[in-house]
Amino acid sequence: MTVLGTGYLGATHAACMAEIGHEVLGVDGNPEKVLSLAAGKVPFYEPGLAALIARHVASGRLSFTQSLPEAAEFGDAHFLCVGTPSREGSDEADLRYLHSVIDGIAPHLRRPTLVVGKSTVPVGTAAQLAGRLHEIAPASVEVELVWNPEFLREGHAVEDTLNPDRIVVGAQSEAAELSLRSVYAPLIEKGIPFLTTDFSTAELVKVAANAFLSTKISFINAMAEVCEATGADVWQLAAALSYDSRIGARFLSPGLGFGGGCLPKDLRAFVSRGKELGVDRALEFLRSVDEINTRSRLRMVSLARQQCGGSFSGKRVTVWGAAFKPDSDDVRDSPALFVAESIQSEGGKVVVYDPKANDNARKEHPNLQYAQDAIEAAENAHVLLHATEWKEFREIDPNVVGEIVDVRRVIDGRGTLDPESWRAAGWEYFAPGKPTSTGIRPCAVGVTNQEGHTEPPKGM
Ligand code: UGA
């Protein structure tokens, strides 16, 4: 098979397909990326991926090229894994990379082939692309398109690809469905559900899933605002809600809200597509989800401003975290960097530290100052902001960092530090949606999972 586009999604998909036994050719227009992947190196941080790629480059099951004609010759199935970012100056998805890869490979498809769309697209795209493939490919209708959305999370990409919750495929024929079943046979044998739908449903499953997850996060952040107005504790509220299995604990962690290359842009693209389809009223609430998310970032800035006496002017502010989430070096639409930039633009002297994302952050935000480690970043700080919940930050001794700051004042934007130990070390501890007077742990009735999010105790 081939994998067209070798970003987060494509590189992971290519490596995992090799892992389950396929011969895989990864294709990318960027020569540097191809060279680096062919040498078994990954140009971004994703736990476990570099080792998997290196293993299968060495085993000969995985190789990379820039050539679409070579890919057409090689593959019985071609996976479309190119990005669909927002169009410049608009919320709509930009499908230019998808169109360009279809137009590039289709003229070389001369035998019956499966083309598998994995990119996140506005509903209606697959039907259009199928028509285009049939029109351009010499094999015409013998080239079958299926739509197979991807649900992997950055930071867990390998594990999510090898053990997905479900495999969804939008197909127009039983033969196409069976071809994809044979690709995923090793996963299906493990009992992973395989759901077959039409094109539109498959496309919608992806955007609806991301919209639902965003809604859950914004819901709890809206509750954080209510908690602040009433003196209630949003962490206790979230933990208590999570015992209701209909609600569940995941994606109910309050704080700085969602960022990254997927949830924010997919949410906006969905609203924009809804408008085109005449269902804007039905998706109107997603605008509020987006607004609450932006407000969560702004509330963190105001909380910090308040702790700086009403102005950041001349104040040193430490921001722990730059990646949009832990275990990733991805800084796209990062809440941490939004906060850092806002404070700097108001005259604060911001120093950022992230265990993996300093370099990417520096490229995008060269005006911010970066430190080599978490302690150095805190030197002479007036306030310390915890903005990305890396395990490293949870494990830091507040007594040690307390010795280097000017004022022992921390704002926990992710709610995963332990307020008791910070307070015991003489820190003033603040967190959005949490009363300042209590010393109660964020997950008083739950447990903190690997990502630092609250989960009910086992058996709930
Ligand atoms: C998201 C989806 O979770 C994946 O299922 C999907 O495949 C992917 O987008 C995609 O469309 O490609 P990802 O962007 O890797 O995955 O990140 P998430 O784990 O969803 O986190 C998104 C943001 O929400 C992060 O900034 C995180 O800090 C924030 N978040 C998450 C919260 O603020 N609270 C929570 O309770 C959970």
Active site residue 262: yes
Residue 449 confidence (pLDDT): 52
Domains 2-197 and 208-445 share a fold: yes
Chain segment 76-107, per-residue pLDDT in tens:
999 999 999 999 999 999 999 999 999 999 99
- Residue 330 Cβ < 6 Å to ligand 1: no
Distance from the CA of 2 to the center of ligand 1, in angstroms?
27
Q: Determine if the pTM surpasses 0.85.
A: yes
> Which token pair is 362?
């520096």
Beta carbons of 197 and 169 less than 8 angstroms apart: yes
| Strand-pair partners of 316 | 349
Q: What is the mean pLDDT of the chain?
A: 94
Beta carbons of 349 and 316 less than 8 angstroms apart: yes
Tell me which of 16, 81, 227, 262 is the catalytic residue. Answer: 262
Chain segment 359-405, per-residue pLDDT in tens:
999 999 999 999 999 999 999 999 999 999 999 999 999 999 999 99
Higher pLDDT, 76 or 40: 76
Identify the helix (H) or strand (E) that includes residue 257: none
Mean pLDDT of 310-329: 97
Higher pLDDT, 448 or 40: 40
Residue 435 confidence (pLDDT): 87
CATH no. of 2-197: 3.40.50.720
Instruction: Show me where the domains of the chain are located.
Output: 2-197, 208-445
**CATH architecture for segment(s) 208-445:** 3-Layer(aba) Sandwich (3.40)
- Residue 260 Cβ < 6 Å to ligand 1: yes
- Residue 119 Cβ < 6 Å to ligand 1: no
Query: If pLDDT is split at 50, 70 and 90, which confidence band does 166 have?
Result: very high
Per-residue pLDDT for 439 more than 90?
no
Mean pLDDT of 33-38: 95
The DSSP line for 203-217 is: HHHHHHHHHHHHHHH
Chain segment 269-287, per-residue pLDDT in tens:
999 999 999 999 999 999 9
Residue type, 54: A
The DSSP line for 142-190 is: GEEEEE------TTSHHHHHHS-S-EEEE-SSHHHHHHHHHHTHHHHTT
Residue 445 confidence (pLDDT): 38
> Which token pair is 429?
């501890």
